[in-house]
Amino acid sequence: MSHSPKAVGLASIERELNRLWRLEGAGDPDAPMTRASMSNLIVVCRTGDELAVTANEIPAIVVRHPARVLLLLGDPGHAGARLESYVTTHAHVIEGRRQLVSEHVIIEARGTAVHALPSAVRGLLLGDLPTALWWATPEAPPSGGQLFDELVDLADQVIYDSLGWPDPLQHLLTTANWAIGLGVRQAVSDLAWRRLKLWRRLLAQALDPTVAPGILETVREVEVEHGPHGMTQAWLLMAWLALRLGWRPVRGKVTGSTEAGWQFQAPHGPVAVIIRRLEVGDAEIHTLRVVSAVTGGRTVVTRFARSGPGRLVATSDLAPAMVMSLSTLPQDRAELVARQLPDLARDALFRDCLSFARDMVRPPER
């Protein structure tokens, strides 16, 4: 259960949260309540529309991962300065009638008031808990300038989603340069990378040498098709595949906004890779084809495709009767964030793939 946000002054936020907590606790005596926080979650939006969408996702997140949520609107485009703050709570039932209550603070800053957000956030963090910064806006986190720089200093983890970036290649470069230069302090995660788990698992299983002998050692061409806004997913998947197989990007070319191609040097010879955008469809990878030349020069195609929400299928000319499939329950953005929040370990594989993807953006020939 969630309450409508109540407007309060910035200095009165803690007092109002305590008041709301007392009200929650004065309810049904047979439904004991626990004030629950596993972490601080700072969420940044840039527009009112983004704020509205994200606010609706918060209850689903705190059901899985109770947190003190600080939802920020940082819109510097307005003249003057305007700062408004609101508080609410989200309660959900566990263990029969027992309720867990999470706190939710909204701070809307417009114009020059945006500069006040980091100090406001600093005063509201629960100091004994890890802090996650979710950059919930379609831009590379470092593009947030001073606001991002100050908020990231407060965080143990940074979560962003490259889905929907307006200039995916430039934003990928910007983000990779920042993330790789972070050192060892913050864990960094891209929800687009998390969405690729099923693809990586099926590729690893279907191309395993014990299942498909000779395929990986003779790959000549790989082609990926994705829907609108799915470029970074395709880019990261190819970075993962090439990194795992020891391929080195030699040259690449981006054709408009619909196609990118590379020549890789693999241990066995050159490999051509093409990523192509479909005009319609979900912002996901739709198909992937691996073309190999096995013993005797025979051409073998291994195909991977989405066959429905959360389901992938692999088939191969090498063994026409073989069909492999993997499936998972579809996960929306809120569930992806909730699953990521407790994972504070730095993902070395993601970092390596992000670095490799950066090299793919700027090979010798563009």
List, for residues 148-159, the tens digit of each pLDDT value.
999 999 999 999
* 133 pLDDT above the threshold of 90: yes
Amino acid at 347: D
* 41 pLDDT above the threshold of 90: yes
List, for residues 49-101, the tens digit of each pLDDT value.
999 999 999 999 998 999 999 999 999 888 888 999 999 888 776 665 556 77
Let me know the angle formed at the C-alpha of 282 by 303 and 222, rounded to the nearest 5 degrees: 30
Distances, alpha carbon 35 to alpha carbons 9, 138, 170, 185, 215, in Å:
22, 32, 43, 29, 55
Domains of the chain, earliest start first:
6-155 (no CATH), 195-329+346-361 (3.30.360)
| pTM, full prediction | 0.91
**Best mean pLDDT range from 20-29, 34-43, 105-114:** 105-114
List, for residues 215-245, the tens digit of each pLDDT value.
999 999 999 999 998 899 999 999 999 999 9
Query: What is the predicted pLDDT for the residue at 237?
Result: 97
Q: Where are the beta strands (DSSP E) in the chain?
A: 6-8, 33-35, 39-45, 67-75, 81-94, 98-111, 131-135, 157-160, 187-190, 219-226, 248-255, 259-266, 269-277, 285-293, 299-308, 311-316, 323-327
Query: What is the predicted pLDDT for the residue at 127?
Result: 87
- 281: helix, coil or strand? coil
Selected residue with higher pLDDT from 303 and 282: 303
Residue 255, Cβ neighbours under 10 Å: how many?
10
